[in-house]
Amino acid sequence: MLKNELEKEIEKWTEKLNERLPGLKPEDNSGKEILENIKAYREDSKHFFQNDNLIKSYEALIWAWAFVEIGENLGHLTHSEKA
């Protein structure tokens, strides 16, 4: 039961991240680094998911989302709806 719920959450938030990423634009060098980290954590999440390590997959996804929010809140990333 927990495994199925975790898989669904990972899939849902990965899809949301994939939709949001094209609209993220770095505003400075820190933004470029943050965007690279977001993409790296997304790939880590995918790798862990494919290897049935759902906890690490979800954890990497949480880190990716944290970087999105922090980058935007600090003004290093901006988001445009028209990507």
Share of the chain above pLDDT 70, in %: 98
Nearest-angstrom CA–CA distance, 11 and 13: 6
Q: Give the mean pLDDT of the chain.
A: 95
Model confidence at 80, in pLDDT bands (50, 70, 90)?
Answer: confident
* Residue 60 and residue 48 in contact, taking contact as beta carbons nearer than 8 Å: yes
Helix H segments across the chain? 2-20, 29-50, 54-73
Domains of the chain are 2-79 (1.20.1270.90)
- Sole residue written with tokens 């991240």: 17
